[in-house]
C-alpha cells in the first residue's frame, strides 16, 4: 500500500461499524493495468495516487491512466487512457472539476473533467533535466498556488495562472521528497517528508516573532527565487507568502520534526495541531503540538 485517504460520508456507507474495525463498502478491481483484464497476458499496474472529494475519487497509476470514480457507482465514471506516456506519481484536486497530476518526467498537468477530450488543459514543467515529480498539493485558500516535490528533494512552488515554470525552487531534502502538504487552515506552514529520513516544517509566515518550539534541529534554508517576469503585476493583497519575491522574505524557517534521522519517511498528514507520519522503520510518529 503506497497511499491512503480517509473518506467521510454521512450515510451508512463507509462507516466504522464498531470500534477498531473497518468494512469494505465499494471496490474497483483492475483500475490500472499494463495489459487489459480480457487479455491472456493480463498485467496489473500499481495505483500510485488517490484523492477524494465527496462523492468523487480520482486515481492515477504507473500505466499513465486517470480514473474518476463515484462511491455510488460500480464502474468508473470517466477514464482517460494513455493520459500520460510516463508514470503518474500523484494527483490532487485543483477545483471540483479540475485535477493536478505530476509525472516521472518533471511535468505538472491540469485536467478538466468538463472537457470531452483526453488532453490536459495546461502543462507546466521543470526546465533542464527532467527530474521526476513525486508529490503535489494545492494551497487551500489560493488555488493557483501549488507545491510539488521531486526526486532531487527540491521543493517547487508554482503559480498555475502564469507561465509554464515554477515561480520558485527551494533547496530541501537530500533525497526523494515523498509527500508535501500545506496546513489546511494555516497554509503559510507547509510540511514535507523524504527518503533521507527527514520530516520538515516550513514556515513562510510574514510575522516571525521568536516563538517557543518543541521541535528539534531547527534550521533555515535559502529561498531560491525563480520569478516569473509578470509576477509583479499580481496585486499584493492577493499574493501568497509562497509567491513573494521580496528580498526581505528570502529566508524561510525550516524545523525538523523528528529528533533524529530514521529510515525513509514515506507519508504524512496534518490537521489542526496534529501531524502523523509513517516510515520504513515500521514506526508511526505523531506530533500533537505543531504550533506550541
Q: Write down the pLDDT at residue 221.
A: 45
Rounded alpha-carbon distances, angstroms, from residue 135 to 116, 178, 248, 267, 270? 26, 6, 29, 10, 15
Q: Write down the pLDDT at residue 3.
A: 54
Residue with more model confidence, 284 or 30: 284
Q: Provide the pLDDT confidence category of residue 234 given band limits of 50, 70 and 90.
A: very low
pTM for this entry: 0.82
pLDDT higher than 70, residue 227: no
Kindly state the percentage of the chain with pLDDT values over 90.
Answer: 59
Helix (H, G, I), strand (E, B) or coil at 268: strand
Looking at 141-215, which runs of residues are DSSP E strands?
145-150, 155-159, 168-170, 177-182, 189-194, 199-203
Q: Write down the pLDDT at residue 54.
A: 87
- Pick from 120-129, 162-171, 175-184, 238-247 the range whose average pLDDT is largest: 175-184
pLDDT higher than 60, residue 82: yes
pLDDT higher than 70, residue 193: yes
Task: Tell me the pLDDT of the chain averaged across its residues.
Answer: 82
Distance CA 78, CA 244 (A): 38
| Count of beta carbons in the 10 Å neighbourhood of residue 272 | 12
Q: Write down the pLDDT at residue 152.
A: 95
pLDDT higher than 50, residue 120: yes
Task: Tell me if the domain spanning 33-263 has CATH number 2.130.10.10.
Answer: yes
Distance CA 141, CA 122 (A): 21
Q: Provide the pLDDT confidence category of residue 251 given band limits of 50, 70 and 90.
A: low
Distance CA 63, CA 184 (A): 31
pLDDT higher than 50, residue 4: yes
Residue with more model confidence, 260 or 216: 260
Q: Provide the pLDDT confidence category of residue 228 given band limits of 50, 70 and 90.
A: very low
- The cell 529528533 sits on which residue? 259
Distance CA 146, CA 172 (A): 16
Residue with more model confidence, 265 or 210: 265
Q: Provide the pLDDT confidence category of residue 263 given band limits of 50, 70 and 90.
A: very high
Burial class of residue 205 (count of CB atoms within 10 Å of its CB; 0-12, 13-18, 19+): middle
Distance CA 152, CA 131 (A): 7
Render pLDDT for 42-63 as a digit per residue (tens, 0 to 9).
888 999 999 999 899 999 999 9
The single-letter DSSP state of residue 110 is E
Using an 8 Å Cβ cutoff, are 44 and 31 in contact?
no
Q: Write down the pLDDT at residue 245.
A: 56
Render pLDDT for 138-179 as a digit per residue (tens, 0 to 9).
999 999 999 999 999 999 999 999 888 999 899 899 999 999
Q: Provide the pLDDT confidence category of residue 237 given band limits of 50, 70 and 90.
A: very low
Using an 8 Å Cβ cutoff, are 223 and 252 in contact?
yes
Rounded alpha-carbon distances, angstroms, from residue 245 to 105, 131, 234, 251, 266? 27, 24, 11, 11, 31
Q: Write down the pLDDT at residue 40.
A: 75
Using an 8 Å Cβ cutoff, are 62 and 32 in contact?
yes
Amino acid at each position: 500500500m503506497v497511499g491512503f485517504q480517509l473518506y467521510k460520508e454521512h450515510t451508512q456507507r463507509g462507516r466504522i461499524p464498531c470500534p477498531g474495525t473497518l468494512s469494505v463498502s465499494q471496490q474497483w478491481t483492475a483500475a490500472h493495468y499494463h495489459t487489459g483484464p480480457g487479455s491472456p497476458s493480463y498485467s496489473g499496474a500499481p495505483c500510485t495516487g488517490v484523492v477524494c472529494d465527496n462523492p468523487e475519487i480520482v486515481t492515477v497509476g504507473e500505466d499513465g491512466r486517470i480514473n474518476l470514480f463515484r462511491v455510488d457507482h460500480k464502474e468508473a465514471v470517466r477514464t482517460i487512457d494513455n493520459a500520460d506516456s510516463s508514470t503518474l506519481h500523484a494527483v490532487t484536486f485543483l477545483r471540483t472539476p479540475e485535477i493536478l497530476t505530476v509525472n516521472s518526467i518533471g511535468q505538472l498537468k491540469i485536467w478538466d473533467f468538463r472537457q470531452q477530450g483526453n488532453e490536459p488543459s495546461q502543462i507546466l514543467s521543470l526546465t533542464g533535466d527532467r527530474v521526476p515529480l513525486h508529490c503535489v498539493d494545492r494551497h487551500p485558500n489560493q488555488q493557483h498556488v501549488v507545491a510539488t516535490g521531486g526526486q532531487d528533494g527540491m521543493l517547487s512552488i508554482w503559480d498555475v495562472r502564469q507561465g509554464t515554470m515554477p515561480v520558485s525552487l527551494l533547496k530541501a531534502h537530500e533525497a526523494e521528497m515523498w509527500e508535501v502538504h500545506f496546513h489546511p487552515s494555516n497554509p503559510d506552514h507547509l510540511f514535507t517528508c523524504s527518503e533521507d529520513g527527514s520530516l520538515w516544517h516550513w514556515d513562510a509566515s510574514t510575522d516571525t516573532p521568536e516563538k517557543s518550539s518543541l521541535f528539534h534541529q531547527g534550521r533555515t534554508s535559502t529561498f531560491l527565487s525563480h520569478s516569473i517576469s509578470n509576477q509583479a503585476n499580481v496585486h499584493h493583497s492577493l499574493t501568497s507568502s509562497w509567491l513573494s519575491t521580496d528580498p526581505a522574505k528570502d529566508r524561510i524557517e525550516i524545523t525538523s520534526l523528528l529528533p533524529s534521522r530514521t529510515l525513509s519517511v514515506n507519508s504524512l498528514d496534518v490537521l489542526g495541531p496534529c501531524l502523523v507520519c509513517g516510515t520504513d522503520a515500521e514506526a508511526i510518529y505523531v506530533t500533537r503540538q505543531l504550533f506550541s
